[in-house]
Structure 1
Amino acid sequence: MLETLFGLEGRVAVVTGASSGLGIGFARTLAGAGAVVYAAARRLDRLEELAASEPRIVPVRCDVTDDADRRALVDRCYADAGRLDILVNNAGRPGPPFAEQETASEFAAILELNLLAGFHLATYAAGRVPEGGRASYINISSVIGLVSTAPIGGASYAASKAGTLGVTRELAGQWGRRGIRVNAVVPGWFDTEMTDGLFQNEKSAGWVRRNTMLGRGGVAGEVDGAVLFLASDASSYVTGHTLVVDGGWTAR
């Protein structure tokens, strides 16, 4: 029963931003459930290290802000396997924390990476899904897209992550009858490259503990189950949903 619900044997997945942070865990989890995972990022050396630890992971150098790279990534899946069942749009980075220090071009660059790239990758992938097919697309947002986390966060990052949630709902509505489910995962505070020393500073680490219902930040692996759930048949009747994995941060 569990294998039927959560097993991904025979399916093909793409995880962007798979060279570090949460993306590594997403790639390993989907591969561990049986999927062939195309792990995409700019740092090919890191992807190759990841692939060496899991034979179902295929490293692919990809700059998701490059239109040709996005198309080549999807085309590679169809050329190799004839399908793309699962897309995890995880690539992203923060912008400057203070609005007055952020130029218009910097703001646009964050939106291009965190929002536009995943949107276009999803639209191109959706165009390749055959009639009667099915797919699951998972957009990784952030608590910063739901609530203000000042002084940590940033206007461009907040805009991109809030936009991700809006795009998720809209694409779910447009594509649901075609068998394509689109959902979002909202991680809370995790000790990754993205949080840039947040947990190494006692003042900021204490801020996380005080404002999180579980009294701690997230640890490696605690978002992986949410992604597996949304990728698998366990969530076959779930679309347009935002699954928050934040230890109760946004529920306060």
Structure 2
Amino acid sequence: MKPWRSLLIKNDKVNRIMPHLPDKTSPLFTQFERWSGKKKRLYITNNSEPGTNPFHLSQNLFANLVASPMRHERFSKTKSPKLLLIQSKIDMKSKQLKLCSIQSRTGKNSYVLNSEKVLEKMAKSPMVLSPLHLYSSKITNLNPSDIAMDKQSFLENYRIELINSIKQAYKNHLKNEAKEGDIGVIYDESNPKIMEIINILKGRQLQINLGALKESIGEEVVPSKHFLDSKTDMDLVILVYKLLNFLKN
């Protein structure tokens, strides 16, 4: 028998040298969670081992905003979290187009940028802001000429409705003592910072200053400093943030 045939038969006696795989240093492996959209490392406290403490993202304003469902924005034709947008709706009884301060799931909706300056420039007709599928529906049988929109009071009505929604929500959510994680809302025209992290006795706090907008509505909405609980008052915090974005952007 030839030597090489003997090696094949006695395969178990041959010492195999296994190749050494190089360490995975590519970001495709080491930073998998950044590009894959997975939440695999959401609760990891360091690079080597997972932890058990969550980040309490449900109490984070910005996490709530970006985690809201995605919607198509009419002007840019791109998708954005709906809490960063304004919902527009047609009242089918009065055939009136309006912007909604508090979004709802009922009826047919459209979404536009939450910016007073952009809407002043782009909102030239109801057709631009209305849900387009209403005009092509055989059930609604709408024509663009059927929809009424007062261009002079259109944005002002939204501003007033948004302010009134904040006032109404404030009635049940006022407190004078702050704790870590709370969000402070103030009106201080001498402070140019609209939003900042400040140190308090019990930790750190996000502070929103409507006075930095130099708008008369701020002091009316926030006559003094108030603290909002990041757990129970998140809906109110989002309304304040929407007002801030609407006037500033």
**Interval containing the TM-score (normalised by the shorter chain):** under 0.3
If the length of structure 2 is used for normalisation, what is the TM-score?
Answer: 0.27
Select the structure of larger CA radius of gyration: 2
Q: Which has the higher contact order (CA 8 A, sep 6+)?
A: 1
If the length of structure 1 is used for normalisation, what is the TM-score?
Answer: 0.27
* Structure (1/2) with the larger helix percentage: 1
